[in-house]
Structure 1
C-alpha cells in the first residue's frame, strides 16, 4: 500500500511553523476562505489561569507532560474526495473543531489558558505576518496571529487519505499548543542571535515535538477516522524513508527521527511522550 503523505511528508505539502513578529506595516494577503466561528473563538480566561511558564522549563518541564492521555475523540470529519476542494475544506474545518475540543480538555488539566487558533485556507502561498510561506510547505502555523494556514492546491487534493491529512493538520495544531504552553516563546528566545547550527537544532526539537503531539491526537481519534494498524505502519515507514526530503537544511529532523517521534506520540496518546527538549541529540538529529 502506497501513501503520499502530507506532513513534512510529500512534495509541496509539508508543514512549517513561523514565529517572526510582524512589523506594523505588514498585512496578511487575501486568502480564500474564512475562519469558522468555532475556530476563531477564544476561550474566556478564568481566575485560576496562569501565564505560561517562561524560560527553559516551559519546554523541558511543561505541565502538559503531566496531563495524561488526550480524550478519545469522534471527529466525524467525513471523507475527502480526490480533487475536491470542497470536501477537503469541510474535512479540515471539522478536524480543527475536533482538535479544539481535545486540546481544550487537555489544557483544563493545567492552569494554563487556552484559546482556539484561527484557520485560513488559501489557493496560493500567500505572505503571512510571520513572513513568506515556505516553498516546500503545504501548510504553516504563524505564532504572531495564532493562525493555521492550509493550502488548497491540486497537489494536496490528489491525496484523499483522511489519516494522512489528519496527521499533517494536527502537526500544525501542535505548534499552536506549543505557543499556548510557552514552548514557542522559549524557542524564539533561544534562537535569537544564535549560530546557524544552534538554530537548526532547536528547530528540530520544535518540529519533532509537533510530530509527536499530532500522533498522540491521531491515536485518540484513530477509531473514528479510521486509522488501521497496517495504514499507520505504512505511514511511519514512508516518513522514515522520505520525511526529510523537503527540508535540505535539516530543520525538521531526519526521516528516522520524524518516524521515531510519531511512534512515541501514537503509542502514548499523550503529551507525556513528546518531550523532545530533554531527549538525547541522536533522537532529534
Structure 2
C-alpha cells in the first residue's frame, strides 16, 4: 500500500509512561442520578475494573474531516477533533461505570520535547504522560507528506487508552506492582498495559468505522503490519510480540467493548 511509510511512522509510537496540552476539564460521571465513585484500588482495579461491565463503547459519531497533505494547521485540527471524539466516547463510558472522569490535555508538537515523565522515547511519535495527564503528539515531515487518517487516529486512541488506564485506577495497580517486581515481571506488566491500550484503541476504531470512516482493507493491512513489525521498534519485549499485538487489536475491534480488553486476568501466554 502507498500508505506504508506513514503507517510505519504512526506505528512505532506506543510509549509506556506517558507525556502532552489543552486544558483538562473535569467532567462528572453522573448526571444527577448515578453516584460517582473514586477509582478502584489494588489488583482488582486492573482485573475487575467497572469499565469492563459497561458494554460496547459509546459511539461519538466521529467525523474529524479530511487530512490533506502538507498542512500543519489541518493536521492540528484533525488531532483536536479526534481528541474530542475520544473525550465524548470515554466520558460516556465512565459515566456508565459510575466512575469520575477527567479529560487529558493535548499538546501538539513539531519537535521532540522533554516531558515531566522524562526524555522523549526513541522512535515514538506520540506519548501519554501520567504526571501531567497529557498526550504529546508529534507531527513529523513524513506524516505531513503522507498523512494517514486511520494510522494517526489509531495512535491517538492508543495514547488515550493510557489515560483511561490512569484515571480508572488501572495504572495505580500497574505502577505499584512494577515497583515491587523483578525485571522479567516488569516486562510482563508493561506488556499487559501496552496490549490493553492497543485493545482500547481498537475498540474505539470499531465504534467509528462508519463515520471516520475505517476502510476494512486498510484496517486489515494495519493489523497485519503490526503482526509482522509491531515488536521491531522496541529494544526489549515490553509491548508484546507482533502476533500478540495483532491478536488484541482484532479482539478489541471485533467486540467494540472495553470488557474484551482485560489483559490483567489472562494467562501470561496471551501477553507474550
Shorter-chain TM-score bucket reads: over 0.9
Is 1:185 the counterpart of 2:172? The answer is: yes
Q: Which one of the candidate residues 130, 140, 149 is aligned to 1:143?
A: 130
| 1:255–1:194 distance in 2 versus 1, CA, 3 Å | same
Question: 1:236 Cα deviation (Å)?
Answer: 0.7
- SS of 2:101's partner is coil
**Superposition TM-score, scaled by structure 2 size:** 0.92
Q: 2:70 touches 2:145 (CA, 8 Å); kept in 1?
A: yes
Are the structure 2 counterparts of residues 133 and 6 from structure 1 closer, same or farther at C-alpha, using a change threshold of 3 Å? farther
> Are 1:6 and 1:14, in contact at CA under 8 Å, matched by a contact in 2?
no
Distance 1:6 1:265 in 2: 23
- Superposed, which structure 2 residues align to 1:16-165 within 5 Å? 16-18=15-17, 35=22, 40-44=24-28, 48-165=35-152
Gap runs ≥5 in structure 2 = none
Give the Å deviation of 1:194.
2.1
Give the whole-Å Cα distance in 1 for the aligned partners of 2:99 and 2:28: 12
In structure 2, relative to structure 1, the CA distance for the partners of 1:175 and 1:11 (3 Å cut) is: closer
For residues 144-185 of structure 1, what are the alpha-carbon distances to aligned partners after superposition, in whole Å with 9 as ceiling and x for unaligned? 111000011213334322111111000000000001110111
TM-score normalised by length of structure 1 = 0.88
Q: Secondary structure at the match of 1:137?
A: coil
Instruction: Specify the SS of the correspondent of 1:89.
Output: helix
Deviation per residue, 1:222-281 (Å, 9 max, x gap)? 111111221111111111001111112111111111110011000010101100011222
Structure richer in helix, relative to its length: 2
TM superposition shift of 1:81: 1.7
Residue 220 (1) aligns with residue 219 (2): no
Select which of 207, 212, 222 maps to 2:194.
207
Give secondary structure in 2 for the equivalent of 1:77.
coil
Gaps of 5+ in 1: 20-27
Q: Which residue of 2 aligns with 1:232?
A: 219
Instruction: Identify the residue that residue 181 of structure 2 maps to in structure 1.
Output: 194
